[in-house]
Amino acid sequence: MVGCGNEVFVLMLLAIWATDMIGGGNIRLAKTPLNIPLLSLVAIPFFQLVPVPAFLLQHLSYNSYIFYLDTFRAVSMEMRAINPISLYPHATWNELLKVLSYAGLFFIIINNIRRERVKGLLRIMVGFGLLLAIFGILQHLSGTGRIYWFREQMPSFFGPFFNRNAFAGYIGMLIPLGLGLFVSSLPLNKRNHIHRPLFYLFATVIMVVALFLTISRGGIISLMISLSFFTLLYRSSKTGTRKPSVVLILLLIVFIYLVWIGITPIIERLSTLSHFGEVLEFRTEIWQATISIFRDFPLLGTGLGSFEYVFPSYKPFGSYSVVTHAENDYLQFLSETGVAGGIAVILLISALLRLGWKTISKTEEDRYPLSIKAGLISGMISVLTYGTAERMLYIPAIAILFTLYAALICCIGNGINERHVQ
């Protein structure tokens, strides 16, 4: 859904913004708790691509040194004097461009979008989620085996995504946001017309129905977790306890709609959770092999994006299946970036959760009530949870949406301190 063109487009926007600031002599840099962890995530793959002398490579990544030594010996050549830490620099370069685009998008948003205009962007995001869900439902009910009705694809596609789990992860982030906007538009009064909450309710129901139709077990489970998280945050507020349980009402409406269009395939799919042990056994083998990669390349990993090229040397004997990802974002990132990447991710997630908690803990009423903040945070919780058993944040569309959520949390949570550089 999102290709290289999107990364180039974001980097062009970043260059235009930087040029405009420098040319105008007014360099504004927004300071947030996420800046340092995010820049660390950019620095790691960049460092992995820098050629280093052989003696230094032995200390930074001994097994990378051995890999290069054996590779050059195999072709009867002397090892080059300098080599990068990444075992597959081309893949690492591609991933570096993506990470740069995510960081660029984050800084463009926090430096250019005013707090009072965030709500308009949130409405656009929910509206886009509604259109995406309608497209996926129509495509599913038509029984077509082609994406966009003309391009042949694998049977697991849904909507514009090649994999139904990816669609479930993406739409699962937007559902709590739609629910948050619906709750924020209640109770009805003279200044709040009925069409707005009805639109948010309709959009949220359609998105949930689309997610269920993917019959993605992980997507449904992560949705239940995020909705439970939303309920806890929402009911913790003074205003939330005076309103009915909107999550239960939402699920009841979704159930009625699913019964109408046919719920049997979904029930059959969920019934396979009883055979979860077989799926877990396969994934456990992948996870164990991924941990072995990390043990061999503990400090800086094998290079961001190199997993599918390194894994064949570690997969269990007799396994002929092609494995392109580790079925776990965190383990795969750890194997590709080592302890350095693990620390950066921990710092980023902990800073994001602290900022989210600080935002939720505010007691004063403003234009962004708790339900909207809870919707954003719960949406991120959804994909972070799903990432423990599936590839999520490695998918550019989901990573961009996650970056957008993080930037908007900074905007509405007053997590931005602007400073001018003379």
Rounded mean pLDDT for each run of 10 residues along the chain, 422 residues in total: 62 78 71 91 95 91 89 79 92 94 91 82 94 91 76 75 92 93 72 76 90 87 89 65 60 66 59 59 87 95 94 74 88 97 95 86 65 91 93 93 93 62 38
106 with 216, same domain? yes
Q: Is residue 11 domain-resident?
A: no
> Residue 89 is encoded by which pair of tokens?
């620099």
* Cβ pair 371, 234 in contact under 8 A: yes
Number of Cβ within 10 Å of residue 24's Cβ equals 9
Note the pLDDT of residue 421: 39
Q: Is residue 344 domain-resident?
A: yes
58 with 168, same domain? no
Last residue of a domain, one of 39, 67, 84: 84
> Residue 366 is encoded by which pair of tokens?
């403003």
Q: Is residue 249 domain-resident?
A: yes
Note the pLDDT of residue 332: 97
102 with 57, same domain? no
344 with 396, same domain? yes
263 with 188, same domain? yes
The range of the structural domain enclosing residue 168 comes to: 29-50+85-280+317-421
Q: Is residue 21 domain-resident?
A: no
Note the pLDDT of residue 38: 93
* Cβ pair 89, 303 in contact under 8 A: yes
Note the pLDDT of residue 237: 55
165 with 67, same domain? no
* Cβ pair 184, 369 in contact under 8 A: yes
- How many residues would you count in the chain? 422
Q: How far apart are CA 398 and CA 413, in angstroms?
A: 22
60 with 187, same domain? no
Q: How far apart are CA 154 and CA 165, in angstroms?
A: 13
122 with 224, same domain? yes
72 with 142, same domain? no
Is the dihedral angle over the CA atoms 294, 295, 299, 301 positive or is it negative?
A: negative
Note the pLDDT of residue 240: 46
214 with 138, same domain? yes
Note the pLDDT of residue 260: 59
